[in-house]
Amino acid sequence: MDISDAALLFAAGFAGGIAAAIAGGASLVTFPTLLALGLPPVAANATNAVGLSLSNFMAAVADWRRRPSWGRSLTWLFAVNFVGGAIGALLMLETPADLLILLVPGLIGGATLLFALGPWIQRRLPAIGDGKLHAAGVAFPLFLSAIYGGYFGAALGVINLAILSIGGLTDLRSTNVLKNILITGVSASSVWIYVWQGAVVWPAMVALMVGSIGGGYAGGYLIRVLPPLGVRFGIIAFGTAATTFYAGRYWF
């Protein structure tokens, strides 16, 4: 990796960090960039997962006081996400390269669509809840979402917010903190497996992580001035363009 590639990954990580802080969807910026630099899909996904692994943890710490009361049920849910993330990462590593290439446009496109529908989903789900999380009812859906998170993970936050809202939580900030805690569990196991299996391209990961940390920090300030809707539209446009490009490259 030369200096220009490192600079591009730093910029992508920085943009992804800002996106994560304001609207989410960082992987829709960073994963296609890694593919564009020539990384194979498995290596790109593993490098992306490690490079962005601190973002949800830092977001949870930043608003820690708003987390729901911690008890055995939430510890159990964290464990469920940890195990699901490990399974997803192992499935990713076992996916044949030829099959994964065919899946890439669908994964990016599906995540982009889900990200685009996220606000619509969130506006309609909280009214279902009663303010208390029914852990037993959300354990299996969260387990499935954790497998997806370990496998690919883009727009996982939207999925988890929907599940937790259906599970009873109505306060958006506390739901968001819990979502970030659970995704941290997914990252903790999947990142360890990707590193253990040697799937991470380290120079690319370092450039991406440094950029994402800086972007996340900057996003904390830019959220005051940048319109979230504009950032969201930019991410959707980038994800749509990436889907179109890789569909043309891998499908046609």
Nearest to 209 by CA among 76, 3, 10: 10
Most confident of 71-75, 110-114, 152-156, 190-194: 190-194
Mean pLDDT, rounded, for 227-243? 87
Q: Is the pLDDT of residue 24 over 90?
A: no
Residue 191 and residue 50 in contact, taking contact as beta carbons nearer than 8 Å: yes
Of 19-23, 139-143, 187-191, the range with the lowest mean pLDDT is: 19-23
pTM of the model: 0.86
Taking the C-alpha atoms of residue 46 and residue 28, their distance in angstroms, rounded to an integer, is 14
- For 44, 78, 200, the CA distances from 188, given in Å and listed in that order, are 18, 11, 15
Q: Is the pLDDT of residue 230 over 60?
A: yes
Of 119-128, 130-139, 228-237, the range with the lowest mean pLDDT is: 119-128
Q: Is the pLDDT of residue 125 over 70?
A: no
Mean pLDDT, rounded, for 143-167? 88
Question: Which amino acid, 104?
Answer: V
Q: Is the pLDDT of residue 222 over 80?
A: no
Q: Which residue has the higher pLDDT, 141 or 172?
A: 141
Taking the C-alpha atoms of residue 9 and residue 28, their distance in angstroms, rounded to an integer, is 13
Q: Where are the domains of the chain?
A: 3-250
Q: What is the pLDDT of residues 177-188, one digit of tens each?
A: 888 889 889 999
**pLDDT (0 to 100) of residue 93:** 95
Residue 122 and residue 162 in contact, taking contact as beta carbons nearer than 8 Å: yes
Tokens linked to 179: 């979502």
**pLDDT (0 to 100) of residue 225:** 79
